[in-house]
Structure 1
């Protein structure tokens, strides 16, 4: 069987940055629904199309093809009075930009100074060129109902 639209694919993979550092050392295999559903990077999905169990790929992803360019506008300073009491560096908190209050942004606390904190809404790997190496472990055909369930579940996250 080869990978086609709506196949459930299991991949063992490694993600490394441009310095060759392994970014997912404890990663379980990735299981995703193939076919443009946004469950995996588009360029990786395109490389997997038509492949079979045991096949491998190695793809370099530019920041735009992976987690996006680093956006300085997503770095904000907030008064501690507006933030949770138990704040610590590295903590992730939900927030939003005033222009789009329906879009939740996960901010990471980068620094805490006196009465203010520096929050970064960029993905931790934003701005990184990444290498995705994967080996296909399994390909399954699944029912229309299972596809719907996966898409509904993914949509709510």
Structure 2
């Protein structure tokens, strides 16, 4: 057994302040509750879906965090090799 720690730079990176964007509420998919912390799916280029987290709700926009949810986090794992074949 071994404990493994992975620093942010070796996993999903540090939080990028430039990955916070203001996005019009009107462009959030219909029926999506606007609440802080909710992950929303946004369509990019008509075929690619991008996930973003609602960070802040403003009057006409929402501030979206486009960083990976684990960005800036230290990851700790307990690893146990059960078998080698």
Aligned to 1:80: 25
| Residue of structure 1 equivalent to 2:75 | 130
Q: Identify the structure with the greater helix proportion.
A: 1
What is the aligned-residue RMSD (CA, Å)? 2.4
User: What TM-score comes out, normalization by structure 2 length?
Assistant: 0.73
> Any idea what SS the aligned residue of 1:81 has?
helix
Gaps of 5+ in 1: 1-55, 142-157
Whole-angstrom distance in 2 between the partners of 1:138 and 1:90 = 40
Q: Where in structure 1 do 4 or more consecutive aligned residues deviate above 6 Å? A: none
- The SS at the match of 1:70 is coil
Relative CO higher for 1 or 2, CA cutoff 8 Å, sep ≥ 6? 2
Q: How far apart are 1:96 and its partner, in Å?
A: 6.3
Residue 53 of structure 2 corresponds to 108
Alignment match, 2:41: 94
CA–CA separation in structure 1 for the residues paired with 2:12 and 2:80? 21
1:39-68 per-residue CA deviation (whole Å, 9 max, x = no partner) reads xxxxxxxxxxxxxxxxx2212211122222
The unaligned stretches of length 5 or more in structure 2 are none
Over alpha carbons, which structure has the higher Rg? 1
- Structure 1 residue aligned with 2:63: 118
Aligned length: 82
Report deviation, 1:108: 0.7
Distance 2:83 2:58 in 1: 49
Deviation at 1:103, TM superposition (A): 5.5
What's the TM-score, normalizing by structure 1? 0.44
Give the distance between the partners of 2:62 and 2:17, measured in 1 at CA.
Answer: 16
- For residue 110 of structure 1, report the CA deviation from its aligned partner: 1.2
